[in-house]
Structure 1
Amino acid sequence: MTGGITRRRLLAATALGGSALTAGGWALAGGSLTPGQPGLLLRSQTPLPQPYAVPLPVPPVLTPTRPGDTTDVYEIVQKPARLRILAGLETTAWTYGGTFPGPTLVSRSGRRTVVRHRNELPHPTVVHLHGGHTPDGSDGYPTALILPRDGTAHHSDGMAGMPGMPEASGARDHASVGRTYTYPMEQRASTLWYHDHRMGFTGPNVWHGLAGFHLVHDDEEEALPLPRRERDIPLMIADRAFAADGSFRYPALDTAQRTPGVTDPYMDGVLGDVLLVNGAPWPVLETQRLRYRLRLLNASNARRYRLALEPPPPGGDGLVQIGGDGGLLERPLAHDTLDIAPAERFDVIVDFSRYRPGTRVRLVNRLGSGSTANVMRFDISTGRPPADDSRIPDRLSTIPTPRPERAATTRTFHFQRQAGAGGWTINGRPYEPGRPLATVRLGTTELWRFVTDFHHPVHVHLDHFQVTARNGRSPGPYDAGWKDTVDLRPAESVEILTRFTDYPGRFMLHCHNLEHEDMAMMADFVTE
């Protein structure tokens, strides 16, 4: 069923106190009751480029400025850069190191990584290592600003219903010119990414280019016969819209970044009509008839994708998932389609030897239409490939079976749009820095229940989790393994189980639809 209010959804709405059927729910959230898209399309004002006209770029790997026995030190300058994204036009991007995506950082599990950021942009920023198991001082709390090089601070007028920022009540962070982030990397191999996390302005900052990959390797992963080197490819998928002069187009309330948020029609989320992969529109990758490992990241502000190969390989199951947000799955999972919400990562193997030489295989988006229905293309070589030394093992890793009955406590978080609260809320409240919705004892396991009125990809900082139930039933087909972001559809509930470890302090829980996040759908939790 693709429309209408089912009994299950009506019961879920009742669990939200009925608000999902009134001004706080579907009616003001775009009226969507389908598993399609949140948000509103922002159309480009310049002719769209021809698809499959440019090769796929692969972000460069950053070299440490000071490698050591136990620590690698990196330096990144955040700065504007003029990039050639559309043919014949230049786009001013806000970048890490002058590229979009930013350079890829590669770390070793158990080996500390230190990243020093300097801000040469005209506005403050914050950096969050998404999926990192990180002490609170380096987690990228949204008021821990990195000021522009001249030391000027921009103080916004605040979000409706909450104090101004960053000097909001309870905020203890001090802005600084330059900031050093220390990542212990006491975590398993996984595909992480780093991006801006400034309160009220994450949406425009990421939209304009502040995002990059951070890959973690370990002995377990490297012992597996998976595709390596040039056949291990990170793919950052992001939609954007462009103005007539080639600049990024975004419906910010205030381009000077003093008042956060977007214009009212885009409160549900901003969707672009150009799909970029690693910063290039609808690119092409020439492949051999071999297995490839594709690290898929949805870096869009709000757009969800349903990815598939077209044509599918003979027999189907063309996307074999080996990992997710938090690294390797226990066993591979074969998919014909793969739903991926903002901030989610899926690590997949595609065996191009299943196709005839010379086949052109499109990666398509079955939740898109028109220009957003295609993502990129793989052109399979006609030449004889070398012997393929890779394979997909039947067993990849060992993941403990979740035991919800052992949870120390159960907490429920309602993700809703509230009339009168000025935007998106968690448990009926817009975000206020320093006011935690939960205090958690380190070393304990908790069961958290997320209940939604709309599409919300929910992200939890500090520790990965396992999905134990969806709508009171078994987890969904894309919920396997360790995750840090889980996709919820309208009037849906998800239960997750996580154990909080290592680091006391203040961390975040929020929607990763960046327009929802900027309009107050965040909450603090404290570990002690």
Structure 2
Amino acid sequence: MSETREIGRRRVLGIGGALGLTAVTALTTAARLARHPASTGGQLRSGVPLPPAFQAPLPLPSVLKPVSASGGVDRYEITQREAPLEILPGVKTPMWTYGGTFPGPTIEARRGRPVTVTHHNELPVPSVVHLHGGRAPATSDGYPTDLVLPRNWQDPSSHMTHGAHDMGGMGGTQGMQGALGMRDPRAVVTRLTRDYSFPMDQRPTLLWYHDHRMDFTAPAIWRGLAGLHIVRDDAEDSLGLPSGPCELPLMIADRAFDDHGNLHYPSLDPTLREQPGVEEAYLAGVLGDVILVNGAPWPVHEVTAVRHRLRVLNASNARHYDLEAVTDDGRRLDLVQVGADQGLLATPVTHRSLPIAPAERYDVVVDFGVVPVGGRVRIVNRLGSGRTRDVMAFKVARKATDHSRVPRDLSYDLPTWRRSDATRIRDFSFRAGRMHGGHGWLIGGLPFDPARSDVTTRLGDVEVWRLIADVHHPVHLHLVGFRVLSRSGRKPLPHDAGLKDTVSLRPGESAEIITRFDGYRGRYLFHCHNAEHEDMGMMANLEII
């Protein structure tokens, strides 16, 4: 899987071409899958008439209230269930939801105050919840085989799993038959409910939670299993950044709808019970032709003429965006980035456009004070075409006094890992390949196997990883944040600033990242967050000992 070495100074400084030959084969294999440089995937076409842009109001996800705050722990409950939702105007779309809404309810947490979320599974299939970007013990990280079984679930393979643990106390132990035809002896399976506990010992940032069931993550997210989780602390609160109604969470996700207004997704098994995967035309990823923000198609939001903080998440399965804010007279507004996946930057970075891959988050400030009252600002996707070029719009409704600011210094607690701190370097290729006679997406030439240990590292070790891609691959590490050291042997790009947990690799590109594996021991993951790639083998195990 990986090439690991103890590294001296010469090795650390000279790894630029280490994977060049590997890339040649990978790029050849994937050439037919890369439609054009801006995207990786096949686009579905909706059958139902689509509404015009910038008419639906922007929904704001509800903030979930804890059911208990005793003992210094905030406790929440969420029921996963099917619900008919009005996504397109006048049309009811059956969806899988957290708490009956899409996005699911937002959890707001304080740094250092533990959170426990009890999930109840009333869906027709097993589920797993992963808090993306969260620093959690392995038992609460949402490993893909740590299933929560629904009532009366019968394993389609009808085999019992030896060694798996059933914590539910409601009958026999059952595991999961995945695409790889194998079992996970370490899986911890519950029935109906599971508690996920998060210490919240991490920097303030925007996280998100989503389904992470092995082989079926992509269709589960597509059907609606995604929600926001925000971590705050006193230091961030004191900065004076836009807040209250001037702080807007924006979950961007593309979808497609069939002739009846149901979600359209090309699953080989629409029941999501037995056969994973998608139709051949969508092996590289599933793209929709409707852009949703907070669950509404191409919405509009009224704002006052002051700075606004936009907490942006790309929750799409495979679609990449390059966002810009454009007035109706063609002016581009500055996007002042103040935070990345894992929290505040050291100092702000100003962009004219901002690329964002699946699962990435960016914290940006936009000053609507430079737009006259009555003016409009469109958020445009420079990588889109036709209807997918528009994302949403803001209408400047009134003047107001702006009490916010963007300070020159934002955060002092960013890690300062150096190459000389690294104990080893590892090389990984992310590329298309063959898996059990069919198409797969591989890391280091291997598809995911929950029974195999791919990377073992010691708690507290600093490592440098070099990643190389054939087509677009947003690579996500569980548990830890990292810094981007280089791209294809050159300096990181401006949007690589800060602490990240997902790095977007473009076709043929390589990147070096550095991280420290701290927090907890146990089994975690790293994988591509193109959700279709993930389901078709592009995951690997990370064991921290």
Which of the five TM-score ranges fits, normalised by the shorter chain? Answer: over 0.9
The answer to which of 170-179 and 448-457 deviates more is 170-179
The answer to which of 398-407 and 308-317 deviates more is 308-317
**What are the Cα deviations for residues 436-468 of structure 1, in whole angstroms up to 9, with x where unaligned?**
211010011011111111100000001111111
Q: Which position in structure 2 is the counterpart of 1:397?
A: 411
1:367-406 equivalences in 2 (<5 Å): 367-381=383-397, 383-385=398-400, 387-398=401-412, 399-406=414-421
Residues 1:320 and 2:336 aligned together: yes
SS at 1:378's partner residue? strand
Residues 1:507 and 2:524 aligned together: yes
Equivalent position amino acid for 1:189 in 2: P
1:12, distance to aligned residue in structure 2 (A): 8.5
CA-based RMSD: 1.8
**What are the Cα deviations for residues 12-47 of structure 1, in whole angstroms up to 9, with x where unaligned?**
974316312433x323x2354x2x011011000111
Residues 1:272 and 2:291 aligned together: no
SS at 1:16's partner residue? helix
Equivalent position amino acid for 1:224 in 2: L
Equivalent position amino acid for 1:376 in 2: M
Separation in 2, partners of 1:187, 1:327: 9
Residues 1:177 and 2:192 aligned together: yes
The answer to which of 45-54 and 146-155 deviates more is 146-155
Equivalent position amino acid for 1:325 in 2: D
Contact 2:328/2:375 (<8 A) preserved: no
Residues 1:16 and 2:14 aligned together: no
Pick the aligned partner of 1:483 from 492, 500, 503: 500
1:154, distance to aligned residue in structure 2 (A): 4.8
- The 3 A distance-change label for structure 1 pair 194 and 418 is same
- The 3 A distance-change label for structure 1 pair 157 and 26 is farther
Q: Which position in structure 2 is the counterpart of 1:438?
A: 455
Pick the aligned partner of 1:210 from 225, 233, 243: 225
- The 3 A distance-change label for structure 1 pair 90 and 330 is same
Q: Which position in structure 2 is the counterpart of 1:158?
A: 178
* Structure 1 stretches lacking a partner, 5+ long: 1-10
1:452-467 equivalences in 2 (<5 Å): 452-467=469-484
* Structure 2 stretches lacking a partner, 5+ long: 1-16, 158-175
Contact 2:23/2:468 (<8 A) preserved: no
Task: Report the identity percentage.
Answer: 51
- The 3 A distance-change label for structure 1 pair 65 and 218 is same
Separation in 1, partners of 2:202, 2:328: 35
1:267-416 equivalences in 2 (<5 Å): 267-311=283-327, 316=332, 318-381=334-397, 383-385=398-400, 387-398=401-412, 399-416=414-431
Separation in 2, partners of 1:229, 1:17: 47
1:378, distance to aligned residue in structure 2 (A): 0.2
Q: Which position in structure 2 is the counterpart of 1:242?
A: 257
Q: Which position in structure 1 is the counterpart of 2:131?
A: 129
**What are the Cα deviations for residues 122-144 of structure 1, in whole angstroms up to 9, with x where unaligned?**
11110000000010000000001
1:51, distance to aligned residue in structure 2 (A): 1.0
Separation in 2, partners of 1:438, 1:232: 39
Separation in 2, partners of 1:516, 1:443: 30
**What are the Cα deviations for residues 113-167 of structure 1, in whole angstroms up to 9, with x where unaligned?**
00000001111110000000010000000001111133444556532xx333xx3
Separation in 2, partners of 1:451, 1:409: 18
Q: Which position in structure 2 is the counterpart of 1:26?
A: 31
Separation in 2, partners of 1:233, 1:172: 38
Q: Which position in structure 2 is the counterpart of 1:6?
A: none
SS at 1:66's partner residue? coil
1:104, distance to aligned residue in structure 2 (A): 0.1
Q: Which position in structure 2 is the counterpart of 1:4?
A: none
1:8-157 equivalences in 2 (<5 Å): 14-16=20-22, 18-23=24-29, 25-27=30-32, 29-30=33-34, 32=36, 34=37, 36-154=38-156
Separation in 2, partners of 1:234, 1:154: 39
Equivalent position amino acid for 1:450 in 2: L
Equivalent position amino acid for 2:505 in 1: L
